[in-house]
Chain A
Amino acid sequence: MLNDQEVTLYDVTSSDTLLDYLRLDQRLRGTKEGCAEGDCGACTVLIGRLGQNGLIYESVNACIRFVASLDGCHVVTVEHLRGRDGRLHPVQQALVDEHGSQCGFCTPGFVMSLYGLWMRSAHPAVEEVEQALQGNLCRCTGYEPIIKAAHAISSHGSPEMDVLVEERKRMTGILTSWDDETGVEIKSDTDHFFLPANVDDLSHLLQQYPKATIVAGSTDVGLWVTKFMRAITPAVFIGNLKQLHRIDTDADGITLGAGVTYSDFTEVVAKYFPQMNEFWSRIGGEQVRNMGTIGGNIANGSPIGDTPPALIALGATITVRRAADRRSLPLQDYFIAYGEQDRKPGEFLESIHIPFLDPDDHFAVHKISKRRDEDISSVCGSFRISLQSNTVTSVVLAFGGMAATPKRAAAAESALIGQAWNESAVDKAVAAMAEDFQPISDMRASASYRALVAGNLLKRFYRETIGESPRIQRIQVA
């Protein structure tokens, strides 16, 4: 569904983006292209999909979302918003009243992000608003009037009167009727892609096409197309596979399917790994968290990979599968070298297992970036330590941004193991890190900054374990 229109496509290719489809094919030009890499939010639209708890609408970046991934979804663009009697929608009215637009180019994207927020939280706290807008850039207003507008939306109408909310039942019925678990294959002279019916189907397809591009949230693969003009054919789109969205909890820990998005996992983080709450909300922007998957974050082998350092510290293992063969390995062993992972042709990442923390363990993850939110880490450090009578019995110090892969600081770990957990031991571990890492200088940070900060993060972790953790306090406003 596109707004209130049912769409069937035959001549779509694997690399067609939703944004180009909207602007060029459908001539819906309210949705803008600002960056074509999922970082500015001018192209924000809502996607309705059937999740574990029924129909949900999430903001996404149309610029890096592939049309092929939208089978059975409801795409909602700014043109669909309307209030009663042809008036402005409450979100729109609030923005006009608070002078929330100046040049107006980013505005439709802000409208859609605020709309998504308002549907689930009609009276949001300032933190919620800031978080919902992490993926939307405005260069004119300085954001103040937009934040005011976000708080004023409900004074113009309640979500119950909203068109999407009103039609939720009907739309759920439509999407459910399309949810028939049949696979899709579309092939032309130059392009070939699949929407597998289920995970078994996926495994067969990858046996047949071992070099196929696996596309989950497309927050990375999307850029291969929009930035580097790479062909991704043959492609297999796995975003719709329900089995890969499963999150299972047992006595030992959590097992999550490779298709679980950051947003899907937020509640689990809050419940079982609250030490990661702040970190989790700083991965990407809202749109990227709604699209991007933890499995994709691992599988693409980024040297920074925000989640891998944390998952390595937590002792996560992954299961990769080829046909019916599954093998499990510790996550840290998956990363072999820059651009090289332990995944053989035809294999795919199926699930990730995260053991629960021992209640006595100390665990933390810290992300350092030039801009606090929606920025790629210059350094990401995650630490876990077990102590017996203040002696270190086990320790994991995992870093992103310090080497060609997410990597443990082996020398620093050995400097700590068996030692008393105190400042001088930590200082020795920090000094040993020079053996572990020779970071690079690039546009995100210099090598010397990375090295200094990596050590300081360990010092911070030490202080946290002894109950001191001074951090910058966010100003609380009424």
Chain B
Amino acid sequence: MSSKSTPSIAGRVGTSQPHDSGSKHVTGQAIYVDDISEPIGTLHAYLGLSQVAHGEIAAVDFSATLASAGVLGVLTANDIPGHNDVSPTGKLDDPIFAVDKVEFYGQPVFAVVAETRDQARRAAHAAKITYRELPHAIDVETALAANYPNVTEPLTLKRGDADAGLKNAPHSLTGRMEVGGQDHFYLEGHIAFALPGEDDDVTVHSSTQHPSEVQHMVAHVLGVPSNAVTILARRMGGGFGGKETQPNLFAAVAAVAAKKYNRAVKIRPDRDDDMIATGKRHDFVNSYEVGYDDDGRILAVRGNFAARCGFSADLSGPVTDRALFHADNCYFYPDVELQSQPLKTNTVSNTAFRGFGGPQGLIIAERIVEEIAYALNKDPLEIRRLNFYGGEGRDITPYHQTVRDNIIERLVDELETSSDYQNRRRAIIEFNQNNSIIRKGIALMPVKFGISFTATWYNQAGALVHVYNDGSIHLNHGGTEMGQGLNTKVAQVVADEFQVDLEHIKITATATDKVANTSATAASSGSDLNGMAAANACFQIKDRLISFAVEEYGVDPADVLFSANTVVLGERTLSFPEFIKAAYMARVQLSAAGFYKTPDIHWDREKGTGQPFYYFAYGAAVSEVSIDTLTGEYQVDRTDILHDVGRSLNPALDKGQVEGAFIQGMGWLTTEELWWDEKGQLRTHAPSTYKIPLASDRPRIFNVELADWSENARPTIRRSKAVGEPPFMLGVSVLEALSMAVASVGNYATCPRLDSPATPERVLFAVERMRTGEQ
């Protein structure tokens, strides 16, 4: 940190800077893939999707398609020069085009290539495919009944003896909770734009969180080495995990078509096809058994986490793993056994979504707390406190990692006070006594979220920094920009390292030919990994600059000081550009590739032990709601959040992440409902039927604070913490507040067991259960 006496740069780390593209966003000048000027002769591809949930392809008739205006041809699996597969985990279970058999309603079977997108889209709908239908299982219950297999290896986490713990506990209860899925609803849908090059080369503009994987997949599909494929990604119009593996298929189709026709090819599904044909957040059916004592202290937990994974594995393994990793949230389970069940279903293959299974696991910890609280007639907050990690022998997770950086008690204490939780809770209970139709609820809940990819090798990053001889700086790294402001944060790190104003740092598109073998921008890891890699590149250049200064100006290395757009060399001060020009003339290398890998993490999946997370991020939220017991409609009246981002790199952007994540989490648990009909067709596939929160759904009183006293116990970039995913789970406070409002109808004697999403319909039926005393 710079002290007050030293002059400061504009845009240093720790200050609130606007998103680097803010001005371009508001003027419409920010270029997304569909906005790039197309070369003359650009073709358009469009997918043809299956219209049964499970069936053998009996006959295919493309005659009408091929006769349609503007059509150049149809691509099927036969047109794929390499592998007809985009499985991100090498399982070879993710065909681009279905062959012989389709396994979900909306599975791509072919693509049409035409002169315009409209022509390709119309022609795709003209195809006639007939199927011999097979029985389908679209959800967890029917998949279990039909003995469907797992799509990937399940995981068990175990510590102590859950059987004995449950048997010996003074009280125990069992329950089941359905946890709904979620569509990403990024505003910019999937898109890829491929430009053929010479030899085997192809360049693809992709809206992707994982350019390196798109590169490797396109190469795999084309049957060419990775060095023939370049992926470019300047920005996405939202990702949220939906663009981690799902862009592979679109990029591959565009690339295959571009090579086949030797013309540029763009592919962009419409919103409906995007929602039908690409994966979503996994919905889960979770069951739990908990033993506890008279005070509400949890003694033993057994949980089963069954997920609708869809027809292929995709990322379901690590997603369901992460559900187990977060089934403890902030609570110590003395004896515990957790089991995942990644089930195959005849639905689209579910994928990454902010939190990556963590929310679907964490929600069970919160449900357990709620169950105990209602059983013992206590405030759930009291049960939470009693079970927080901490104290002798009470700091070990179900995966045997010790929780060393726990700050949850302080966060919760501060939030309890700042939100006036106790008084408001009392007032709400009184309100509910005096009102029959409108009821209120309030809930304060904590979040702990493990930071690091549990696929340990993903925890690496690269960056490329050039300092040009005019002193301007070019920054490139492996992370991708999807709105989170990663580029701004990393540029602030670089500005800080060189002590130049932020405006001198040029942010550039993520490109696989600049930084190789990058990891997905996911798991909230973007600034942790890429910030460190960029800093490492700066260190290398600065080392060379300091050596040069020592030699050139005869100063001590300790007397070379980068300070506020200048370089102080003992008695002499040069402007940064002057100094750089001098270094260039002396033939100093002003470019560096930086690298970072997260230290100290390891994970043995077979044994279920290790230290998968480098650190934990924490947060707490308290939400207050009103419900209408005649209709089930509700409103979030107020939310207060205190969230931990360590020492913030950019408080404005971090706060934006917290607010946005909370609302998205609230949407997941309230109005966002995925609904399939009896044919296995998803019927909520556009904003007319799939309802994400609107401006008028946000709590009108929304107090969001960052815990400014927090700093990461680990030496992360400037002691900051990851922020993308953890606050998503703060939305659980809304579900639980709704639950309390419902419970009031039964005088708080029964846990309402509200499943999610808690649509007005679910709330009303829960109210009815309270009225009739049914469970």
Question: Which A residues lie at the B interface, using CB under 8 A?
Answer: 20, 23, 27-37, 39-40, 42, 77-79, 81, 88, 91-92, 95-97, 99-108, 111, 126, 129-131, 133-134, 136-147, 226-227, 229, 366, 368-376, 378, 442-446, 449, 452-453, 456-457, 459-460, 463, 470-477
A92–B21 CA distance with the chains assembled, in angstroms: 12
Which of A23, A107, A141 makes the CB contact (< 8 A) with B656? Answer: A141
- B416 contacts across to A, CB distance below 8 A: none
Q: Knowing that A32-B187, A107-B25, A371-B691 touch, tell me 17 more A-B residue pairs with CB under 8 angstroms.
A: A27-B37, A33-B34, A92-B26, A99-B652, A100-B26, A102-B483, A103-B238, A103-B482, A104-B25, A126-B700, A133-B695, A134-B695, A134-B696, A138-B695, A146-B695, A371-B693, A372-B633
Interface residues of B in 670-698 (CB under 8 A from A): 671, 673, 675, 677, 683-684, 686-689, 691-698
Interface presence of B660 (CB below 8 A): yes
Which of A31, A34, A142 makes the CB contact (< 8 A) with B271? Answer: A34
Given A103-B187, A472-B633, A475-B701: A129 touches B19 (CB 8 Å cut-off): no
Q: Are A101 and B237 interface neighbours, CB within 8 A?
A: no
- Partner-contacting stretch, out of B89-97, B251-259, B612-620, B634-642: B634-642
Q: Are A105 and B237 interface neighbours, CB within 8 A?
A: yes
Q: Which of B21, B25, B689, B699 has the most CB of A within 10 A?
A: B25
Question: Which B residues lie at the A interface, using CB under 8 A?
Answer: 16, 18-19, 21-32, 34-35, 37, 118, 121-122, 125, 184-189, 235-240, 270-272, 435-438, 482-485, 626-628, 630-635, 637-638, 652-653, 655-656, 659-664, 671, 673, 675, 677, 683-684, 686-689, 691-702, 704, 759-761, 764-765, 768
Nearest first, the 6 A-B pairs at minimum CB distance are A30-B28, A105-B237, A103-B483, A104-B25, A142-B663, A102-B483
Q: Are A105 and B696 interface neighbours, CB within 8 A?
A: no
Which of B27, B638, B671 makes the CB contact (< 8 A) with A88? Answer: B27
Which of A23, A39, A77, A143 makes the CB contact (< 8 A) with B695? Answer: A143
- B118 contacts across to A, CB distance below 8 A: 20
Nearest neighbor of A366 in chain B, beta-carbon distance: B631
Nearest neighbor of B121 in chain A, beta-carbon distance: A229
Q: Please list 21 pairs of residues, one from A and one from B, whose beta carbons are closer than 8 Å in the complex, sorted by A's number.
A: A27-B37, A29-B28, A29-B34, A32-B188, A40-B687, A99-B16, A104-B25, A104-B483, A105-B32, A107-B26, A139-B660, A142-B702, A146-B695, A368-B631, A368-B760, A371-B693, A372-B696, A378-B761, A442-B683, A463-B437, A472-B628
A83–B664 CA distance with the chains assembled, in angstroms: 33
A262–B207 CA distance with the chains assembled, in angstroms: 38
- B659 contacts across to A, CB distance below 8 A: 141-142, 144-145
Q: Which of B31, B236, B628, B691 has the most CB of A within 10 A?
A: B691
Given A92-B27, A143-B698: A443 touches B188 (CB 8 Å cut-off): no
A245–B683 CA distance with the chains assembled, in angstroms: 36
Q: Are A134 and B235 interface neighbours, CB within 8 A?
A: no
- B686 contacts across to A, CB distance below 8 A: 35, 37, 39, 227
Nearest neighbor of B268 in chain A, beta-carbon distance: A33
Minimum CB–CB distance from A417 to chain B (whole Å) comes to 24
Q: Are A29 and B35 interface neighbours, CB within 8 A?
A: yes
A74–B250 CA distance with the chains assembled, in angstroms: 38
- B271 contacts across to A, CB distance below 8 A: 34-37
Given A36-B271, A457-B630: A139 touches B692 (CB 8 Å cut-off): yes
Q: Are B656 and A78 interface neighbours, CB within 8 A?
A: no
Q: Are B26 and A96 interface neighbours, CB within 8 A?
A: yes
Q: Are A477 and B695 interface neighbours, CB within 8 A?
A: no
Minimum CB–CB distance from B559 to chain A (whole Å) comes to 40
- B189 contacts across to A, CB distance below 8 A: 34
- A131 contacts across to B, CB distance below 8 A: 696
Q: Are A475 and B700 interface neighbours, CB within 8 A?
A: yes
Which of B19, B675, B765 makes the CB contact (< 8 A) with A99? Answer: B19
Q: Are B186 and A103 interface neighbours, CB within 8 A?
A: yes
Q: Are B187 and A138 interface neighbours, CB within 8 A?
A: yes
Nearest neighbor of B675 in chain A, beta-carbon distance: A443
- A477 contacts across to B, CB distance below 8 A: 700-701
Q: Are A96 and B187 interface neighbours, CB within 8 A?
A: no
Nearest neighbor of B483 in chain A, beta-carbon distance: A103
Given A99-B653, A103-B483: A139 touches B240 (CB 8 Å cut-off): yes
Q: Are B664 and A142 interface neighbours, CB within 8 A?
A: yes
A442–B764 CA distance with the chains assembled, in angstroms: 17
- B761 contacts across to A, CB distance below 8 A: 370, 378, 445-446, 449
Minimum CB–CB distance from A2 to chain B (whole Å) comes to 14
Q: Are B660 and A102 interface neighbours, CB within 8 A?
A: yes
Q: Are B28 and A37 interface neighbours, CB within 8 A?
A: no
Given A453-B631, A470-B438, A472-B635: A42 touches B187 (CB 8 Å cut-off): yes
Which of A103, A144, A227 makes the CB contact (< 8 A) with B702? Answer: A144
Q: Are B695 and A130 interface neighbours, CB within 8 A?
A: yes
- B37 contacts across to A, CB distance below 8 A: 27
Minimum CB–CB distance from B611 to chain A (whole Å) comes to 32
A99–B700 CA distance with the chains assembled, in angstroms: 18
- A81 contacts across to B, CB distance below 8 A: 27
Nearest neighbor of A444 in chain B, beta-carbon distance: B689
- A130 contacts across to B, CB distance below 8 A: 694-696
Nearest neighbor of A375 in chain B, beta-carbon distance: B691
Minimum CB–CB distance from B119 to chain A (whole Å) comes to 11
Minimum CB–CB distance from A429 to chain B (whole Å) comes to 15
Q: Are A139 and B664 interface neighbours, CB within 8 A?
A: yes
Q: Are A140 and B660 interface neighbours, CB within 8 A?
A: yes
Which of B238, B437, B677, B683 makes the CB contact (< 8 A) with A470? Answer: B437
- B436 contacts across to A, CB distance below 8 A: 470
Minimum CB–CB distance from B625 to chain A (whole Å) comes to 9
- B691 contacts across to A, CB distance below 8 A: 370-371, 375
Q: Are A475 and B26 interface neighbours, CB within 8 A?
A: no
Minimum CB–CB distance from A60 to chain B (whole Å) comes to 16
Minimum CB–CB distance from A340 to chain B (whole Å) comes to 23
Q: Are A34 and B695 interface neighbours, CB within 8 A?
A: no
- A129 contacts across to B, CB distance below 8 A: 695
A106–B384 CA distance with the chains assembled, in angstroms: 39
Minimum CB–CB distance from B238 to chain A (whole Å) comes to 4
Q: Are B187 and A137 interface neighbours, CB within 8 A?
A: yes
Minimum CB–CB distance from B735 to chain A (whole Å) comes to 16
A32–B765 CA distance with the chains assembled, in angstroms: 40
A28–B637 CA distance with the chains assembled, in angstroms: 40
Q: Are B687 and A456 interface neighbours, CB within 8 A?
A: no
Nearest neighbor of B699 in chain A, beta-carbon distance: A475
Minimum CB–CB distance from B433 to chain A (whole Å) comes to 14
Minimum CB–CB distance from B527 to chain A (whole Å) comes to 15
Nearest neighbor of B757 in chain A, beta-carbon distance: A370
Nearest neighbor of B656 in chain A, beta-carbon distance: A99
Q: Are B237 and A475 interface neighbours, CB within 8 A?
A: no
Q: Are A475 and B637 interface neighbours, CB within 8 A?
A: yes
Minimum CB–CB distance from A309 to chain B (whole Å) comes to 16
Q: Are B656 and A102 interface neighbours, CB within 8 A?
A: yes
A370–B672 CA distance with the chains assembled, in angstroms: 9
Q: Are B29 and A30 interface neighbours, CB within 8 A?
A: yes
Nearest neighbor of B702 in chain A, beta-carbon distance: A144
Q: Are A111 and B26 interface neighbours, CB within 8 A?
A: yes
Q: Are A108 and B26 interface neighbours, CB within 8 A?
A: yes
Which of A137, A372, A444, A470 makes the CB contact (< 8 A) with B185? Answer: A137
Q: Are B272 and A104 interface neighbours, CB within 8 A?
A: no
Minimum CB–CB distance from B725 to chain A (whole Å) comes to 14
Minimum CB–CB distance from B305 to chain A (whole Å) comes to 26
Nearest neighbor of A141 in chain B, beta-carbon distance: B660
- B768 contacts across to A, CB distance below 8 A: 452
A336–B43 CA distance with the chains assembled, in angstroms: 47
Given A37-B687, A103-B482: A459 touches B673 (CB 8 Å cut-off): no
Q: Are B22 and A101 interface neighbours, CB within 8 A?
A: yes
Minimum CB–CB distance from B25 to chain A (whole Å) comes to 3
- B485 contacts across to A, CB distance below 8 A: 102
- B656 contacts across to A, CB distance below 8 A: 99, 102, 140-142, 145
Minimum CB–CB distance from A158 to chain B (whole Å) comes to 19
Given A42-B187, A139-B186, A368-B760: A35 touches B483 (CB 8 Å cut-off): no
- B634 contacts across to A, CB distance below 8 A: 472
- B697 contacts across to A, CB distance below 8 A: 371-373
